[in-house]
Each structure stands twice: as structure tokens, then as C-alpha cells.
Amino acid sequence: MNIAKAFAALVLLTVSSFYAHAADTKSSTNTAAPKLPPGMPVYGKVGAIDKQAGTVTLQGKEKVRIFHTTPQTRVHRDGQPAKLEEVVIGQWIGGYARPDANGRSTLSTLNLAVVQKTPAAGATNSPAKPRAR
């Protein structure tokens, strides 16, 4: 009887240590990669450019928005690489911005050849009318 109890205790100890080790391994390998802060699409007309400070200012109806650039900012024109020096005041641009470590809106992508958005012909801001059947 003592041998059976000793054997059962040994099996129980082995199984419990296996599950404890599996739980530790699972928690250490499932560490999530640091998430990027949420970003936002950018679209507007360039109001000012400060190439020394690396900022692009977009005009708005109600307020002015300032976006910072970094050496990692990808600048494109017609799908081809371009340079920040090609941006001109009055040009329509688009892109994507994320807050950096200091909380400043920083452009990760900047597209230079953007066509100004205009409403489609005959489009109105009123809700759609149901069709008669």
C-alpha cells in the first residue's frame, strides 16, 4: 500500500510541475508587441511649411493643424518616392499621422499628388430618398 501511495504522489507531482511549467511558458511567449498609438488620416491644403523645424501646417475651416515630420516619414508623389522639399504652399496633400512619444502629431506617410475632394455632380448633403416601387 505504501508503494502505491508513493507512486501516486510521484505521478501527481510530475503532472502538476508539467502544468505549472506550461503555464509559465505560455505567459512568457504570449507577450504582445507594443501597440502603436492610434493614428488618423490627414487631408488638406498646405498653409505653411517650416523645413527647418520639420512641420507642415494645414489650413482648415475652423482651425489650423500642425504636423511634424521625421526622417522616417515616407513622402510619395504618384506612388514614387519624393522629398519634403517638394511640398509647396497651397498644395493639397494627404497622408497618415500618429502621435509621437511627446504627443505631437507626426506624419508617418505624406502623399503629395492628391486631388482636392469635391462633391459629385448632383450630390447633396440631404439623406437619400426612398425609391417608389
Structurally, the chain folds into a number of domains equal to 1
Give the residue from 108, 115, 105 showing the smallest Cα distance to 78.
115
Asked if residue 12 is part of any domain, the answer here is no
SS3 assignment, position 80: strand
Q: What is the DSSP string of 18-63?
A: HHHHHHHHHHHHTPPPPPPPP-EEEEEEEEEEETTTTEEEEE-SS-
- What span, in angstroms and rounded, lies between the C-alpha atoms of 50 and 26? 49
- 6 in a structural domain: no
| 97 part of a folded domain | yes
Enclosing H/E stretch for 26: helix 2-29
Q: What is the span of the domain harbouring residue 49?
A: 40-111
Q: How far apart are the first and last CA of the chain?
A: 87
CA distances from 133 to 84, 126, 127, 130 (A): 55, 21, 19, 9
Q: Residues 45-83: pLDDT tens digits?
A: 999 999 899 999 999 888 999 999 999 999 999 889 999
pLDDT band at 91 (very low <50, low <70, confident <90, very high): very high
pLDDT bin (cut points 50, 70, 90) of residue 107 is very high
What was the pLDDT predicted at 2? 74
CATH of the domain at 82: 2.40.50.320
For the stretch 9-58, pLDDT in tens is 655 556 566 555 555 545 555 566 666 668 999 999 999 999 899 999 99
Q: Higher pLDDT residue, 3 or 122?
A: 3
* Alpha carbon distance 109, 93 (integer Å): 10
Q: Tell me, yes or no, whether 98 lies in a domain.
A: yes
From the list 120, 104, 108, 110, the residue with the least C-alpha distance to 46 is 110
Residue 72 covered by a domain: yes
Whole-model pTM over 0.85: no
Look at residue 100 and tell me if it is in a domain. yes
Residue 55 near residue 69 (C-beta atoms within 8 A): yes
